[in-house]
């Protein structure tokens, strides 16, 4: 991992952003408001959620000061002098509207980072590289905009939702706790089956209004969370649209990351027209030879679908089940991005990870020079061969991702 110390601060910031978004989702939160408070009475989880949701009607928005800590990368692996806020951590502010839209602003000596979501797209702007990383969020069929409702969900609907969640996750139930002086219910969640490198997640929500006050995501076998976002000086009140509806500078470079399908159980919901799925149907739409073996790193092939614009079509192939699976993004290499033969190539300008691949530590993929970043929550391997850009990503150890890449190339 010492090779990471040779990476530029800007490149490393982008890689951290991608891995947090594609594997961890949106990060973790911890909040402290004031000290000294009782625990709430014991309740079944569904009742605790229902009562908190009813109280949430009174919360028009949340504003807080925050401190972000990132322990994804191993200690000592960062380049000296690194100050990118999404790599080393930083302090800042957070605004969360009652319809789910939010904005996080992190500040450091080397520039700011803005994380903004309108419910359809997640935008992460890194000032150190002047780059706006964007990812489409999964949407329900027919959904055009975030749903807004003043009516809290019924107890029956909450019970149904928890039952559905319980099919793939173990839920601890509502544990009465005192979080930073507030009566809260804490829920511990662990994956059923193969959870990849994810060990567990904990969430403590305000018993009165459902506002998350303490949450954490843990890597397998680790006691401390791998990410932390601590909020202080929390206040409740309306959030102006102008606070959240901001855009990066006009000259910012845009990196479009994985489509919604890469993160959704219904990957085609965001596409217009009939989805193109299956090896043969997808291959017919591609200007390059699709690599989709029946098995990859010992995992069976699950899904194959077409993605991208007509001018630059690509494919996503998934292997395995649950969080321990692997996703492979394939696109045609852009002209001049690297070798199109079996020789080396550090570029990945056409891949789902954009131009970030050239910043990763080098790895040999059957004669081609690929790139790799391994963290506590997952691994990304990128390489180019035969005129095709490959990105292998999953919540798996580096060895598994490397094996998968070599079986593709």
Contacts of 101 (CB under 8 A, 6+ apart): 117, 118, 119, 146, 244
Banded model confidence at residue 400, pLDDT cuts 50, 70, 90: very high
- Reported in sequence order, the residue ranges of 48-161 that DSSP labels E, i.e. its strands, are 61-70, 90-97, 102-108, 111-117, 121-126, 131-136
Looking at residue 63, what is its pLDDT? Answer: 86
Average pLDDT over residues 390-404: 94
Average pLDDT over residues 204-222: 85
CATH code for the part of the protein at 2-244: 2.50.20.10
Q: Is 60 exceeded by the pLDDT of residue 196? A: yes
For the chain, domain boundaries: 2-244, 259-408
* pLDDT tens for each residue of 54-108: 888 788 888 888 878 778 876 555 555 555 677 777 788 989 888 889 999 988 7
What's the CA gap between 349 and 351, in Å, rounded? 6
Whether residue 294 contacts residue 301, with contact meaning beta carbons closer than 8 Å, is answered with yes
55: region left, alpha or beta (phi > 0 left; psi from -120 to 50 alpha): alpha
Looking at residue 7, what is its pLDDT? Answer: 41
CATH code for the part of the protein at 259-408: 3.30.200.100
CA geometry: angle at 293 spanning 199 and 169, to 5°?
A: 25
Token pair for residue 218?
Answer: 């843990």
pTM of the predicted protein model: 0.69
Looking at residue 130, what is its pLDDT? Answer: 86
Q: Which residue carries 């507030």 as its tokens?
A: 182
Highest mean pLDDT among 151-160, 333-342, 348-357: 151-160
Banded model confidence at residue 365, pLDDT cuts 50, 70, 90: very high
Highest mean pLDDT among 74-83, 123-132, 141-150: 123-132
Task: Answer with the residue of higher pLDDT: 351 or 257.
Answer: 257
Looking at residue 294, what is its pLDDT? Answer: 95
Radius of gyration (C-alpha) of the chain in whole angstroms:
22
Looking at residue 362, what is its pLDDT? Answer: 84
Per the DSSP assignment, residues forming a β-bridge with 191 are 169
Q: How crowded is residue 86: how many other Cβ atoms within 10 Å of its Cβ?
A: 25
Q: Which residue carries 């359809």 as its tokens?
A: 120
In 3-state terms, what secondary structure has residue 353?
coil
Contacts of 244 (CB under 8 A, 6+ apart): 95, 97, 101, 102, 103, 116, 118
Picking from 105-109, 156-160, 339-343, 385-389, which range would have the lowest pLDDT averaged per residue?
Answer: 339-343
Looking at residue 406, what is its pLDDT? Answer: 95
Q: What is the DSSP letter of 20?
A: I
* pLDDT tens for each residue of 8-53: 444 444 444 444 444 433 333 333 333 446 899 999 999 999 999 8
Q: Is 90 exceeded by the pLDDT of residue 325? A: yes
Averaged confidence pLDDT in the chain: 77
Task: Answer with the residue of higher pLDDT: 260 or 337.
Answer: 337
């Amino acid at each position: 991992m010492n090779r990471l110390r040779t990476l530029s601060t800007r490149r490393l910031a982008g890689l951290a952003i991608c891995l947090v978004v594609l594997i961890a989702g949106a990060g973790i939160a911890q909040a402290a408001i004031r000290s000294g408070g009782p625990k709430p009475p014991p309740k079944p989880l569904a009742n605790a959620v229902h009562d908190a949701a009813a109280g949430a009607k009174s919360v028009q928005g949340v504003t807080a000061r925050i401190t972000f800590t990132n322990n994804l990368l191993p200690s000592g692996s960062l380049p000296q002098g690194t100050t990118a806020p999404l790599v080393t951590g930083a302090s800042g502010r957070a605004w969360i509207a009652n319809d789910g839209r939010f904005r996080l602003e992190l500040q450091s000596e080397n520039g700011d980072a803005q994380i903004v979501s309108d419910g359809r797209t997640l935008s992460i702007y890194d000032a150190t590289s002047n780059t706006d990383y964007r990812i489409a969020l999964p949407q329900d069929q027919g959904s055009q905009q975030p749903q807004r409702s003043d009516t809290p969900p019924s107890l029956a609907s909450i019970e149904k939702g928890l039952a559905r969640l319980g099919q793939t996750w173990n839920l601890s139930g509502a544990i009465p706790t005192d979080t930073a002086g507030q009566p809260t219910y804490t829920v511990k969640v662990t994956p059923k089956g193969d959870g990849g490198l994810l060990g567990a997640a904990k969430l403590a929500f305000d018993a009165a209004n459902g506002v998350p006050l303490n949450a954490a995501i843990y890597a397998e076998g680790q006691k401390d969370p791998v990410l932390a976002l601590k909020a202080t000086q929390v206040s409740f009140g309306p959030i102006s649209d102008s606070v959240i509806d901001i855009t990066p500078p006009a000259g910012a470079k845009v990196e479009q990351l994985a489509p919604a399908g890469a993160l959704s159980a219904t990957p085609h919901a965001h596409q217009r027209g009939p989805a193109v799925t299956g090896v043969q149907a997808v291959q017919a739409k591609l200007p390059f030879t699709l690599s989709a073996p029946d098995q990859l790193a010992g995992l069976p092939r699950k899904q194959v679908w077409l993605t991208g614009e007509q001018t630059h079509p690509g494919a996503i192939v998934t292997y395995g089940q649950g969080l321990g699976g692997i996703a492979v993004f394939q696109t045609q290499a852009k002209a001049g991005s690297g070798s199109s033969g079996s020789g080396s190539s550090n570029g990945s300008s056409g891949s789902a990870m954009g131009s970030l691949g050239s910043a990763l530590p080098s790895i040999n993929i059957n004669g081609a020079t690929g790139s790799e970043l391994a963290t506590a929550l997952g691994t990304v391997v990128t390489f180019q061969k035969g005129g095709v850009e490959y990105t292998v990503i999953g919540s798996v150890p580096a060895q598994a991702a490397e094996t998968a890449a070599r079986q593709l190339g």
